[in-house]
Amino acid sequence: MDHLVALQFRVPPAVSAQLKAHCAARNLRVGEFLRSLVMQACDAGLGENRAERQLARIETDQCFAAVALDALLAGHPDPDMRSRAHAAFVRKTERRRSLDVSGEGEEL
């Protein structure tokens, strides 16, 4: 086993008591328990930036919504509805890009 490096942090007395009681009930040493939690968090990528994880979830939800909406448009009784929606999206995207490039602020 590699040499272990000591780390120290402070918690409120109530958290300390709860942690010690949890470990005592399971016949664990506090240090081993905390080390396992830290290792699990690192392995699971829980140390990643919270905002980045939130953005990734939003992106996934947005992609699903786009695919679902496209499927609904494809099955719409009006055969031109899907192509009109796609054309409107292209126009709106181009308009947003031109506003971003020009630096003019207009609420969309």
Give 29-44 pLDDT, tens digit per residue.
999 999 998 888 777 7
Letter string b/e over residues 11-38, b meaning 16 or more CB atoms within 10 A of that residue's CB? eeeeeeeeeeeebeeeeeeeeeeeeeee
Give 78-108 pLDDT, tens digit per residue.
999 999 999 999 999 999 998 887 765 555 4
pLDDT recorded at residue 56: 87
Is the confidence at residue 77, as pLDDT, over 90? yes
Which pTM does this prediction carry? 0.44
Neighbours of 70 (CB within 10 A): 13
- Token pair for residue 83? 């192509």
DSSP 10-55: ---HHHHHHHHHHHHHTT--HHHHHHHHHHHHHHHTTTS-HHHHHH
